Chains A and B, each alone.
Chain A
Amino acid sequence: MKSVPMLSSAFLHPAGHSLPEPLLALRKERASALVDMPLPTRKTENWKYSSKYLKLADDMAISLPAEGKTGNSLAVPGYKVVFLNGVMIPEASEYPDLDGIQITSFNDLDADEANALAARLGHTLDHAQAQFARLNGARFEDGLLVRLKAGAVLDQPLFIIHETSADASGSAYPRIFVEAGANSQLTLVEEYTSTGQASALISTVTEFSLAEGANVTSVRLNMEGENVQHIGATGVRQQRSSRFESHCVGFGGPLRRHDLQVRLEGEGAETKLNGVVVTQGKQHYDNHTSIDHVAAHCNSEETYRNIAADQSHAVFNGRIHIHQDAQKSNADMNNKNLLLSNGAEIDTKPELEIYADDVKCAHGATIGQLDETSVFYLVSRGIDRRQANVLLTMAFINELVEQIPVAVVRETAQARLSDFFEQTFREA
């Protein structure tokens, strides 16, 4: 028996003690539970394809300092909160004081609020599946609480800019908790960027709790640099007739991982998950999604597209779990993949686990290359082959990118993707 690698104890010492007492206590409790946490290996089912990319040197355990200038972010049209290395920077953030809507840094919560939050932090996630959400729980130094009272509507998207700035090795652990009251509405954009050349680890957790009739749209744009390992988890719990929509756009890196877990707990809840991933060079990206149909009469729809070029590696794992009483569930999952090079690898695993009989569930997955007849069609009309490749590859994912409801994100993503393909095919 080979010994299993463990999480280095260096990772168990959180920094930053300005959190309210209940959250500090929670963090301590979570940290003690992390002693002897085995690191994922090739034998760990949900890290099977990605464990080899995970590099957790001891110097990475040091919390990155939340100092220095922020920049490099989207020209934000709506409200904005800036996090630098996992800590909120109030000076760079702009959001109004709106009736029925609370946007507060964890550090600024009063004792009652902190107690209430501590009781619920992490309750949207299955930590057995998202192991690194536990690391975040033991290490977060700050976070953002977004609370919408019943009927509250945020009139513009709320942008949360997560910036990682690493001049020396280290890690950051930002955390977001969104509580959407009955019939409230919110669009939340999370953007992940980075500056600095040192190798860094960012472990994120974003949680959404949707009360009856709440309507939340989440957009996640992952564009960190080549030195940042990103392990993120998003947990969603939905009550009756609520609606959740997620749009994730991810660019590859040394290690990119996003776990997205949705639980449909009230009848009539609906969820829609879209995702686009592109990787090149020796990059990696791994999306793990799971949708739990706990209550009856819920709908879920999931579409993920991956494109892998050069020697890169893209992974998709989608799981739909229909619980015993979730009759009349409708679930549809679709994953299509483009492999642009022979050195690249795509692994996909669309799983269904069904315990109710009166349901409609389907999934489909494909892996292939660009259709030669389509390329020929364009070439025969005078478009050069390279351009034809760019056009068709863009078309493959644009179907999903187009659905992003926030114009500035959509356009940024499209421009970045277009550059990405130009570059990929120029080299080819």
Chain B
Amino acid sequence: MATTDNEVKELIKREYEHGFVTEIESDTFEPGLNEDVIARLSAIKKEPEWMLEWRLKAYRRWLEMEEPDWAHVGYPKVDYNSISYYSAPKRKEDMPQSLDEVDPELLKTYEKLGIPLHEREKLAGVAVDAVFDSVSVATTFKEPLAKAGVVFCSISEAVHDYPELVKKYLGTVVPQGDNFFAALNSAVFSDGTFVYIPKGVRCPMELSTYFRINAANTGQFERTLIIAEEGSYVSYLEGCTAPMRDENQLHAAVVELVALDDAQIKYSTVQNWYPGDEEGKGGIYNFVTKRGACIGKNSKISWTQVETGSAVTWKYPSCVLRGENSVGEFYSVALTHNFQQADTGTKMIHLGKNTRSTIISKGISAGKSSNAYRGLVKFGPGAEGARNFTQCDSLLIGDRCGAHTFPYIESKNKSAIVEHEATTSKVSDEQMFLCRQRGIDPEQAVSMIVNGFCKEVFKELPMEFAVEAGKLLEVSLEGSVG
């Protein structure tokens, strides 16, 4: 494998593609967190009184909470007073009124990231809401969406324009005091996306948000709320990147999904925050709470995630299956390399009759990384005839990485059936030999094998994301064989 080693060494040096910094002027708060900071934040956003109260209530809860330490990750503790809780690109006048008014520097950033807003508009017909540091920069495709009755805007706008909806649903799925990071987010969330799909509407296009942390020493705390009314359907995509910096940056988001009777929400994430360098220096701490509530009968929430970035990931997209016959799905590919650590999985809480859930999790660890699946499948006493199937597979590349599985299964209903399977394997010499024998170079062979390993999940992703995800894996994996 001598030649391979050399090729590998070349490739290993390949750096994080999205690690550039955009030089734009921005308004940034002094680091530190207290009630004044929250009040200022709320004032900048011209929020109504109830919103500020809501934030302060969360902040007070947060003060009493302790940072969780049960996850299979280790990192130096975050000093929450050294982070700036608000950073916004400086705007010349007010909010940009249309795409043409968006700072061209910013647009260039997105182009580098491969999300040309204009192009998407034409080619893919994807409506993009881009969140840059703390504020929502532009939302495309507002008109056609409005025609269908779909509300797709930043959460700050929603607080002003749809206060009754926000009031009704905000914090109902992930309460302020749910966990340490959710409480922090509830106190200081700066922006995020709000989606409302009215009764019976099938959202005419895929909705998408792109998150990017740009400024140094800032945390990003976005909050997403998606409400799917009776009989509606929406597919939502989310992508993330950040510049390369030596210090760790915090990203603590909250996503809440609400599906009423017969509604369907499909939520896909490609997470590629900066993972830190080869020595494990820098990188994003990705501490995210994502939860969907299937309130209505026959509703469905499906999470698909491809996690390749972040230094530390702590993320469990979950479904609370309350409505009769509701369905929860979780498809995940988590790849860790170098010194990355991921503790990710899902929770499927079955409360209603005949609720069903499927969990497919593929973990790939390479280098000196650690990759854990942590999941909970719970059947309440009322989960008559409920069903779960879980499959967690891990693939190890290299002998200095770790792959772990911590599934919690709890059942209080005799008619509920749960099946759980987990396997661990490596890219076998036989598989490699077969590929190489046919003239495929080792890098490509590994990428092929890994792509095959993840196929079950990729097929759940919308087309353009599936392509991106495949490419991402390839890039992330380069340099991991030998």
Q: A interface vs B, CB < 8 Å?
A: 45, 324, 327, 337, 339-369
A362 contacts B423, C-beta separation under 8 Å: yes
B: number of interface residues (CB 8 Å): 36
Point out the residues of chain B lying under 8 angstroms from A341, CB to CB. Answer: 414
Point out the residues of chain A lying under 8 angstroms from B90, CB to CB. Answer: none
B400 contacts A362, C-beta separation under 8 Å: no
Point out the residues of chain A lying under 8 angstroms from B423, CB to CB. Answer: 361-362
B407 contacts A342, C-beta separation under 8 Å: no
Chain B 65-101: CB-based contact to A (< 8 A → 1; otherwise 0): 0000010100000000000000000000000000000
Closest approach, in angstroms, between the C-beta of B396 and any C-beta of chain A?
A: 4
**Cα(A327)–Cα(B398), bound, Å:** 11
Q: Does B402 belong to the interface (CB within 8 Å)?
A: yes
Main secondary structure of the interface of A (DSSP, over half): strand
Query: In the complex, which of the residues A346, A347, A355, A364 contacts B420, with contact meaning CB atoms closer than 8 Å?
Result: A364
A45 contacts B70, C-beta separation under 8 Å: yes
Point out the residues of chain B lying under 8 angstroms from A346, CB to CB. Answer: 410-411
8 closest Cβ pairs, A-B complex: A357-B396, A339-B414, A368-B417, A361-B424, A352-B405, A365-B420, A367-B411, A357-B426
A367 contacts B409, C-beta separation under 8 Å: yes
Point out the residues of chain A lying under 8 angstroms from B413, CB to CB. Answer: 339, 342
Q: Answer whether A342 and B406 are a contact pair too, CB < 8 Å, given A324-B400, A358-B399.
A: no
A362 contacts B419, C-beta separation under 8 Å: no
**Cα(A341)–Cα(B424), bound, Å:** 34
Closest approach, in angstroms, between the C-beta of B17 and any C-beta of chain A?
A: 27
**Cα(A270)–Cα(B259), bound, Å:** 50
B418 contacts A366, C-beta separation under 8 Å: yes
Closest approach, in angstroms, between the C-beta of A227 and any C-beta of chain B?
A: 27
> Interface centre among A327, A337, A349, by most B CB within 10 Å?
A349
Q: Answer whether A367 and B422 are a contact pair too, CB < 8 Å, given A349-B409, A351-B406, A355-B402.
A: no
B414 contacts A362, C-beta separation under 8 Å: no
B417 contacts A347, C-beta separation under 8 Å: no
Identify 7 residue pairs between A and B in the complex whose beta-carbon atoms are under 8 Å apart, listed by A's number: A344-B414, A345-B411, A349-B408, A354-B424, A355-B402, A363-B422, A367-B379
Closest approach, in angstroms, between the C-beta of A330 and any C-beta of chain B?
A: 11
B422 contacts A362, C-beta separation under 8 Å: yes
Point out the residues of chain A lying under 8 angstroms from B422, CB to CB. Answer: 350, 352, 361-364
9 additional A-B residue pairs with CB within 8 Å, beyond A354-B402, A369-B417: A341-B414, A352-B404, A352-B424, A353-B405, A356-B399, A361-B423, A362-B421, A365-B418, A368-B416
A353 contacts B399, C-beta separation under 8 Å: no
> Interface centre among A337, A357, A364, by most B CB within 10 Å?
A357
Residue of A nearest to B64 (CB): A1
B402 contacts A353, C-beta separation under 8 Å: yes
Closest approach, in angstroms, between the C-beta of B151 and any C-beta of chain A?
A: 41
**Cα(A372)–Cα(B412), bound, Å:** 19
Q: Does B137 belong to the interface (CB within 8 Å)?
A: no
**Cα(A200)–Cα(B404), bound, Å:** 39
B420 contacts A362, C-beta separation under 8 Å: no
